[in-house]
């Protein structure tokens, strides 16, 4: 009662009380699902809602969203469980170094985030994550519609997928981020893997079974670079890798960065200490999100 009277007596105390009513922590909803037209069935995802999302004072506010894509062998639980998305975003938002963002973390199985239903692969995950998932999220939660508030990023296989989505449809995203992207730059027409069974384990038929290098190259992010050279609106690009990446992602990432520069396409490159693992990706998540926020502010 005393607190209520104090708030009524002084405007600045009233403001402080209103702030105190805002939830101190975010909300993380694990393994949600919706019916995806592209998949012909359910698509699972986890979603992070920032602190204050449910506060009455924020009832009309719409939030930017980042779509975080996982790597081979993971699912919609990987980013929140191993990437510490909730902890990282809570901390940055509390510090004031990141505006409140929604994070959407879908399950893409071993789809490589491409369409493959026509060849008996995992399914049309490229279309599902590009069209169906944002439509569902923007209709269900207070998320900004349109490219200026939409970001896509991923690690390893998810980095491949994020770059492909951003490069092939720059009109849909404000910025794209790729951590240790699995670009497989050595694949060329006629390329034959030395271990076909390993390719099946990694690609799960996403590019044909046996692995079809032409199908892979037709879906490679590089194929769509011409769309980024003269997009309807600028697409900001963030690349990151560890300097001790055992899969050579740092070299493929540097090669892509140099090609972007050669085409006068602006890009940000970060080579950090570490390998191809969650230790690197957890550490890289915050700087990438902050870079996204600056990109949004500049738009």
Nearest alpha carbon to residue 277 among 91, 78, 75 = 78
Nearest in space to 180 (alpha carbons), one of 56, 284, 38: 284
**Alpha carbon of residue 260 to chain centroid:** 20
In the CATH scheme, what architecture does the domain 24-298 have? 3-Layer(aba) Sandwich (3.40)
Residue 25: predicted pLDDT: 66
Q: Which two tokens stand for residue 112?
A: 């490589």
DSSP 213-268: HHHHHHHSGGGGHHHHHS-SS--EEEEEEETT-TT-HHHHHHHHHHHHHHTT---E
What is the per-residue pLDDT for 11?
36
How high is the pLDDT of residue 230?
86
CA distance 275 to 235: 27
What are the domain boundaries of the chain? Answer: 24-298
What are the average pLDDT values for consecutive 10-residue runs of the chain, which has 299 residues? 36 38 72 98 99 95 98 98 98 98 99 98 99 99 97 99 98 98 95 92 96 97 95 92 98 98 96 98 98 90
CB 207 within 8 A of CB 219: yes
* pLDDT confidence of residue 175: 98
């Amino acid at each position: 009662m005393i607190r209520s009277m104090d708030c009524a007596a002084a405007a600045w105390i009233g403001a402080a009380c209103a702030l105190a009513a805002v939830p101190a922590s975010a909300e993380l909803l694990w393994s949600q699902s919706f019916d995806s037209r592209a998949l012909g069935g359910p698509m699972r995802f986890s979603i992070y809602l920032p602190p204050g999302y449910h506060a009455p004072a924020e009832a009309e506010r719409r939030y930017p969203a980042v779509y975080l894509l996982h790597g081979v062998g993971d699912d919609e639980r990987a980013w929140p469980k191993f990437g510490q998305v909730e902890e990282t975003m809570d901390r940055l938002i509390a510090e004031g170094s990141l505006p409140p963002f929604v994070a959407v973390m879908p399950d893409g199985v071993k789809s490589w985030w491409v369409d493959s239903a026509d060849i008996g692969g995992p399914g049309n995950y490229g279309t599902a994550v590009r069209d169906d998932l944002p439509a569902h999220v923007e209709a269900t939660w207070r998320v900004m519609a349109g490219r200026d508030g939409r970001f896509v990023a991923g690690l390893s296989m998810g980095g491949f997928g994020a770059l492909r989505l951003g490069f092939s449809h720059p009109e849909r995203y404000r910025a794209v981020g790729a951590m240790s992207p699995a670009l497989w730059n050595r694949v060329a027409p006629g390329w034959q893997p030395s271990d076909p069974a390993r390719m099946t384990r990694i690609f799960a038929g996403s590019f044909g079974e046996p692995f079809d290098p032409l199908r892979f190259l037709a879906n490679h992010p590089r194929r769509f670079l011409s769309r980024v050279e003269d997009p309807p609106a600028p697409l900001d690009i963030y690349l990151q890798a560890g300097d001790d990446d055992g899969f050579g992602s740092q070299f493929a990432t540097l090669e892509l960065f140099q090609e972007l520069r050669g085409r006068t396409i602006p890009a940000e490159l970060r080579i950090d200490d570490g390998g191809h693992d969650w230790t690197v990706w957890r550490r890289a998540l915050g700087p990438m999100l902050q870079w996204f926020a600056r990109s949004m502010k500049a738009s």
